Amino acid sequence: MHGLSLGARLRSAAGAAGLTLAGTFPLAAQAPGLGAAGELVDPHHFRVCSDPNDLPFSNEAGQGFENKVAELFAAKLNEPVTYAYFPQVIGFVRVTLNALRCDVIMGMAVGTDIVQTTVPYYHTTYALVFRPDSALDGVSTLADARLKDKHIGVVAGTPPATVMAQEGLLSLAKPYALTVDTRVEAPSKTMAEDVASGRIDAGVLWGPLAGYYAKQVTPHLVVVPLLHEKERMDFLVAMGVRHTDQDWKRTLNRLITANQPEINTILASYGVPLLDDQGRPITP
């Protein structure tokens, strides 16, 4: 979920659960065969549920960091990667994972109940982005007085919007869409371009989007993780599997634990602002 907020990107209940499965996909026709312990996981392919146009997370060309982590895990299992693509709009989980077209969603917020989540494989936070020539150097919180007269981009309905309201920053803010069809819209990309061009003074984006798009525009933007706000800005990200797939979850947990340094290297190469278990920045 380009341009998706945390709520959309990490498949919130409203944005991802969609309708019930009944009457949509015949399960018997979709099942790849029984895997370990009778689970409906393909034992011969690493099958990923993915958005076809959602960089830096994923795309059909395999250019996202979720694609790269999937390739890493598949190599460890000596299996090929295959994808079930669907835009991350309402119904994503229903028509991919729950329809047995794939076996893992590569990015889910820890604690969601739409799916069963693995151990987290990264920890990141929302971030402020601004031009290096904007006299905002040193700003590390939305409470900074230097932001009071600034036009700041924010995705509607996200935690930063709540903090901006508390700090009196919304009157001059520019809102961007929360949930979009990534085939036709990329609000985060648009926000970064607006900051780079000077149409707005700064923007607040989910960390992976901030780090990635900051390097896709000219001039490159400064990325400041928001670690000192009144509301929680940081979240743990795991992988999602069906509630019935316990052995598969344990396999993924082992892969995450054994390959965390390689995962971090992949994430850092995309500019994801990584945090440790105590919420402190991890130096690339």
Residue 279 covered by a domain: no
Reference 95, options 208, 11, 7; nearest CA is 11
Tally of structural domains, the chain? 2
According to the model, what pLDDT value does residue 88 have?
86
| Residue 243 domain-assigned (yes or no) | yes
Q: Would you give the distance in Å from CA 163 to the centre of its chain?
A: 21
Using CA atoms, how far apart are residues 122 and 276, in angstroms rounded to an integer?
8
Q: Which CATH number do you get for residue 157?
A: 3.40.190.10
What local confidence, expressed as pLDDT, does residue 182 receive? Answer: 64
Q: Are residues 145 and 69 in the same domain?
A: no
DSSP class of residue 282 equals: P
Whether residue 107 is found in the same domain as residue 43: yes
Let me know: does 237 contact 216? Beta carbons within 8 Å: no
Q: Are residues 101 and 241 in the same domain?
A: yes
- Write out the residue range of the structural domain in which residue 52 sits: 6-122+235-269
Q: Are residues 114 and 239 in the same domain?
A: yes
Residue pair 108/16 in contact (Cβ under 8 Å)? The answer is no
Return averaged pLDDT per consecutive 10 residues of the chain, 284 residues in all. 40 31 31 58 97 95 98 98 93 96 97 95 98 94 97 94 96 87 80 98 98 97 97 97 96 98 98 95 80
Per-residue model confidence (pLDDT) at position 181: 66
* Residue 40 and residue 163 in one domain: no
Asked if 92 and 86 touch (Cβ cutoff 8 Å), the reply is yes
pLDDT of residue 180: 62
Is 60 domain-assigned? yes
Residue 274 lies in a domain: no
Give the per-residue pLDDT at 39. Answer: 83
275 in a domain, yes or no?
A: no
Distance between CA atoms of 36 and 49, rounded to whole angstroms? 20
- 196 φ, ψ (degrees, to nearest 5): -65, -35
Same domain, 14 and 95: yes
DSSP 93: H
pTM: 0.86
- 161 lies in a domain? yes
Please report the pLDDT score of residue 11 as a whole number: 35
Q: What is the DSSP letter of 51?
A: -
Residue 3: the pLDDT is 35
> How far, CA to CA in Å, does 74 sit from each of 7, 44, 224, 247?
28, 10, 33, 16
246 and 256 part of one domain:
yes
* Alpha-carbon separation of residue 195 from 71, 77, 198, 279 (angstroms): 34, 43, 5, 27
Residue 15 lies in a domain: yes
pLDDT of residue 186: 85
